[in-house]
Amino acid sequence: MSIEQLAETAQAMVAPGKGIIAIDESNTTIGKRFAAVGIENSEEHRRAYRELLLTVPRLSEHVSGAILYDETLRQSTRAGVPFAKYLADHGIIPGIKVDKGTTALAGFPGELVTEGLDGLRGRLEEYYRLGARFAKWRAVITIGDDIPTGTCIEVNAHALARYAALCQEQGLVPMVEPEVLMDGSHDIETAYEVTEAVLRSLFGALYEQNVLLEGTILKSSMVVSGKDCEEQAGIQEVAESTLMCLKSTVPAILPGVVFLSGGQEDEDATAHLDAMNRLGPNPWALSFSYGRAMQQAALKLWAKDMAGNAKKARDAVYARARANGQAALGQWQGEY
């Protein structure tokens, strides 16, 4: 695969006013989301729910790509069209989550490392055949007493770089995601320091492992106050801190940075992105790759009456996509 093709895909993922919808929850995670609204976690429910999200009319006006889970990439619409084909036919690039989740980092209590490198080359080859053109790997960094350690940051950055190099070899754009969790009572300054260290380590590892940044997308957390911190930073402070942190760590040749929502309220996720784009021009496109902040309103509606509320649920997804698409241009009409 040529770097030109990878770069073209990466550029298309962050086309102006467009972002990514993340619907790549593992079966365990979607089970938790379903349980919260009283839906049974069956394969057919998972398929039907993903079909609802992926077939939102005019979604591609604001959405360039969708991240799927292994099971979902193998599923089809009720009419029998494989989801990957449906997406590609509707102008949305299919993506796939390829990590196998986190496990406790031995010797480092309270810290996690992401697994999934063994056999990854073969899995990527298959995912490409199934239609995926980008792949996500999520590393998780926890802030707490004396953590994260440098070791945790380094091992996760190393794994991210190994997966990213394999993706590019197989023709998939890596969407590298080092998520610094919002959980905890830390302040925004601490979130800044940790995110800065994580991104520095990540871009060092990508360089060491010959990953071409022109064909890479960063999926980042924003620099926010810990959920339980008494003093919560406002929208403008989050936007300024996140931008400053990215500018000091992320090379300008990267086509784009997309954000995860990480448990933020829907409108906060939109407002933060909008504020960052209003502070531009920035060296890279800044857009969204939200899971919860795109879906949670729709899931609640669908849970109440699956067939009866399908249209309302789809409209809710479209409304979130539209708002976030506008925020990706710094043109959101909402107030903050």
CB of 227 to ligand 13P, least distance (A): 13
Q: Is the dihedral of CA 272, 298, 63, 5 positive or negative?
A: positive
320 belongs to the binding site for ligand 13P (CB under 6 A): no
The answer to whether residue 262 forms part of the interface with ligand 13P (CB under 6 A) is yes
Structure-block tokens of residue 108: 């480092």
**Considering only residues 138, 158, 272, 320, which one is a binding residue for ligand 13P as defined by CB under 6 A?**
138
Where are the extended beta strands (E) located within the chain?
A: 19-23, 63-68, 93-97, 102-104, 112-114, 134-141, 173-180, 217-220, 256-259, 285-290
Considering only residues 6, 22, 180, 191, which one is a binding residue for ligand 13P as defined by CB under 6 A?
22
Which amino acid, 129? R
Residue 215 as a binder of ligand 13P (CB under 6 A): the answer is no
Query: Active site includes 300?
Result: no
For the bound state, the minimum distance from the C-beta of residue 210 to ligand 13P, rounded and expressed in Å, comes to 25
- Indicate which single residue of 34, 137, 290, 302 sits in contact with ligand 13P (rule: CB under 6 A): 290
DSSP annotation of 147 reads: B
- Per CB under 6 A, the list member of 13, 260, 276, 285 interacting with ligand 13P is 260
Annotation marks residue 115 as catalytic: no
Residue 271 touches ligand 13P, criterion: CB under 6 A: no
Strands 112-114 and 217-220: unpaired
Which three-class secondary structure state does DSSP give residue 202? helix
The three-class DSSP label of residue 144 is: strand
Q: Check 177, 189, 304, 311 and give the catalytic one.
A: 177
Contact 117, 162 (CB under 8 A): yes
| 44 vs 190: CA distance, rounded Å | 43
261 in contact with ligand 13P (CB under 6 A): yes
Footprint of ligand 13P on 76-115 (CB under 6 A): none
Asked if 293 interacts with ligand 13P (CB under 6 A), we say yes
135 makes contact with ligand 13P (CB under 6 A): no
| Cα three-residue angle 100-120-102, rounded to 5 degrees | 20
Catalytic residues: 177, 219
Site residues, ligand 13P (CB under 6 A): 22, 24, 138, 177, 260-262, 290-293
